[in-house]
Copies of this chain bind each other. A is one copy, B any other.
Amino acid sequence: MLTLYYAPATCALASHLALEYAGAAYETVRIDFSKKQQQSPEYLQLNPKGRVPALMTDRGILTETPALLQYISQAFPKAGLAPLDDPFLMARVNEFNTYLCATVHVAHAHRVRGYRWADDEQAIEAMKKKVPQTMGDCFALIERHMLADPWVLGERFSICDPYLFTLSGWLKGDGVDIQRFPKVAEHSRRMAADPVVLKVLAAH
């Protein structure tokens, strides 16, 4: 049995969706950020990073969304969530997910968690100010170069799609109009109508 530690409105949504799409048997544990539960001694014992998502497996805890997504696709190969045996296409998957994690998520985090990278209040404000531009630039690149139709990889639905859906859901809060990116907007609409997504979002 897998256990996903998650919090609403975080990138843990991507792994939660992937578990559903994989048909995995799993439980969820909600971490309450308003009570700083992610920094509690009990949670830090499990995951010293003090963040979500984290996935407890029978061999230990795993963290980092791209790692969780690939793990889910490999542990449940029948669901066909990644082109596991094609090194080039698998690299496309990892290239996409790494970009979301290390560039897009990081750009977004400068609006809400600037304290990670500066102590000065004015600096944190200056970071916030630039987020609409950086997030807009990221999604312009995704729209132009990285998103095939109808799914990220083209005809094949994969672990990239719930991750993109998760991060494109942050655009509004980041002051970016998703309609600037017609393919991203259509992808988001299509995902949002999926019964799997509706079910998982209800829990978030």
Contacts and interface: CB of A to CB of B under 8 A. Distances in A.
Interface of A: 48-49, 57, 59-60, 62-68, 70-71, 74-75, 87-88, 90-95, 98-99, 101-102, 105-107, 110, 116-120, 122-123, 126-127, 129-130, 134, 141, 144-145
24 contacts: A57-B88, A62-B92, A64-B98, A64-B99, A66-B98, A67-B91, A67-B93, A67-B94, A68-B91, A70-B91, A71-B88, A71-B91, A74-B91, A75-B87, A101-B101, A101-B102, A102-B105, A117-B117, A117-B130, A117-B134, A118-B123, A118-B126, A119-B130, A123-B123
Interface of A is mostly: helix
A76 to B, nearest CB: 9
Nearest to A95: B67
Q: Among the interface residues A63, A75, A88, A98, which one has the most CB atoms of the partner chain B within 10 A?
A: A98
Residue of A57, A107, A110, A120 most packed against chain B (CB within 10 A): A120
A120 B62 CA distance: 38
A101 B95 CA distance: 12
Nearest to A64: B98
A-B CB proximity, top 3 nearest:
A123-B126, A67-B94, A74-B87
A132 B110 CA distance: 19
Copies of this polypeptide in the complex: 2
Contacts of A90: 70-71, 74
A95 B127 contact: no
Contacts of A127: 117-118, 123
Nearest to A88: B59
B116 A62 contact: no
Residue among A91, A116, A122 facing the most chain B CB atoms (10 A cut-off): A91
A126 B119 contact: yes
Given A105-B102, A118-B123, A127-B123, A95 B64 contact: yes
Contacts of A110: 117-118
